[in-house]
Structure 1
Amino acid sequence: MQIPLQIAFHRAEKSEWAEQEIRDRVDKLYAYYDRITGVRVTVDQRAGNVERTLPPVVRIEISLPGKAPLVVAYEPDRLQQKFQNPDLGNAINDAFAIAERQLARLSEERQGRSKAGQHDSQNQFLGHVAQLFPEEDHGFLLTKEGGSLYFHRNAMLQGDFDKLQVGDEVRYVEEIGDTGPLATKVRVVAARRE
């Protein structure tokens, strides 16, 4: 790394374990992409509520030669949909998992091996519709790991978004979007029976 690692805590209490965890996870990023020139990590407690249950946002900015910086950041509600009681540990783990997947994809592209060449059936997962927001054209799938994954109306390849119901079984491909993982190529396998 040409630029030293920068870690900042904004409106969040600085902790030794969190700083060490961030340093360890940054070291692991090089296994995914060895041309990283700098990393800046910000832990920001942007929002708060009375119960103080909103997790902080972990923002990672990775400098790469000849490319725009790779940035991973999202709002706290993403963690609240994914975990029952999200904390700083969940926020760090989730943000770095997204960064690792994006760097792995960049590395594959750099080496001329893109996942796009693989058949979709190798990358499909089974899930269930967990939440629907038809007025906003999106919903969330429940993954086999028990996590929540965003999908948009336009991600539907088979089936009608307007006829979807909570509980419907679907197949999907997980990809990395601008704000993290999301479901694409969603196909209805079995509609929930009333």
Structure 2
Amino acid sequence: MRQPLQIAFRNIDPSPALEHSIREHADKLDRYFGNILSKRVVFEVPHRHQHQGKQYTVQVALTVPGEELVVRSDKSGGHGHESADAAIRDAFDAARRTLERFAERHRHEVKAHASDAALP
């Protein structure tokens, strides 16, 4: 049974603009695999006192048949993004790539080698 999108904000007040952006990106994921059972997104501003500005991270968790796919928008070194939009974009780009790989495995779209085709 398909569940509605769940969005959580941590260490930041909920924003209608951020929520709208997250919903738009989440809706686009259905193009890559239509049988997503649930989508959960956590938009977070981690407590890091050594940074001057805010650092944003986004986690996207997708439940698909038989598996849960989880990605984060962290940059290398575990640092967040300085832009909320960039954090959302990067998290959903990673989710799309992960979902595409899952869909290929799910459909068993693995290339057969020429030598395999000759076997009886």
TM above 0.5, one fold?
A: yes
Residue 59 of structure 1 aligns to a residue whose secondary structure is: strand
Residue 30 of structure 1 aligns to a residue whose secondary structure is: helix
- Structure of higher RCO (CA pairs closer than 8 Å, 6+ residues apart): 2
Partner of 1:72: 71
Structure 2 unaligned residues grouped into runs of 5+ = 114-120
Aligned partner letter, 1:96: F
Give TM-score scaled by structure 2 length: 0.79
Partner of 1:9: 9
Q: Which shifted more, 70-79 or 30-39?
A: 70-79
Task: Give how far 1:65 is off.
Answer: 1.6
Contact 2:58-2:74 at 8 Å conserved across structures: no
Contact 1:55-1:76 at 8 Å conserved across structures: no
**% identical equivalent positions:** 31
Structure 1 unaligned residues grouped into runs of 5+ = 118-194
Question: Which structure dedicates a bigger proportion of its chain to helix?
Answer: 2
Contact 2:73-2:87 at 8 Å conserved across structures: no
Give TM-score scaled by structure 1 length: 0.51
Task: Give how far 1:73 is off.
Answer: 2.0
Pairwise mapping of residues 39-58 of structure 1 onto structure 2 (< 5 A)? 39-49=39-49, 52-58=52-58
Aligned partner letter, 1:46: P
Question: Which structure dedicates a bigger proportion of its chain to strand?
Answer: 1
Q: Which runs of 4+ in 1 moved over 3 A?
A: 49-52, 74-81
Q: What is the rounded CA distance, in whole Å, between the counterparts of 2:74 and 2:90 in structure 1?
A: 12
